[in-house]
Amino acid sequence: MIHEKALRVLLVDDHTLVRAGIRSLIEGREGVRIVAEADNGRDAAALVRKHAPDVVLMDISMPELNGIDALLQILAQAPGTRVLMLSMHSAEEFVRRALRAGACGYLVKDSAPQELLLALAAVARG
């Protein structure tokens, strides 16, 4: 039997309840594993160095270091890491800024749970 390597995900959001909800959606899915969690961009950048995730699922609005600035740091230190931005902001300006900074995708928080799983798979594929 052939086993594919599990997609390693770093989950970053400053709201504990949101992280728990996303974790519950992702955990138990075959081929996906959350390797660490952070509640701010500064910790996210450090955890990328420590855990080398395949994908970072990260909120755009956070204390200490926002998602865009964290994205820039993450890509500077680990250019192969793919970042899927997660946000309550659906305004085109936020989406454009995230993609211009190097995000591989952008998902609004009021998306359906299945969309999160599809977006993670799409970002993982490039």
Whether 1 shows a pLDDT value over 70: the answer reads: no
List pLDDT tens digits, range 84-122.
999 998 888 989 999 999 999 999 999 999 999 999 999
Task: Give percent of the chain with pLDDT exceeding 70.
Answer: 97
Report in angstroms the alpha-carbon separations of 20 from 4, 34, 38.
Answer: 26, 11, 12
Q: What is the pTM of this model?
A: 0.92
Average pLDDT along the chain: 92
Whether 27 shows a pLDDT value over 90: the answer reads: no
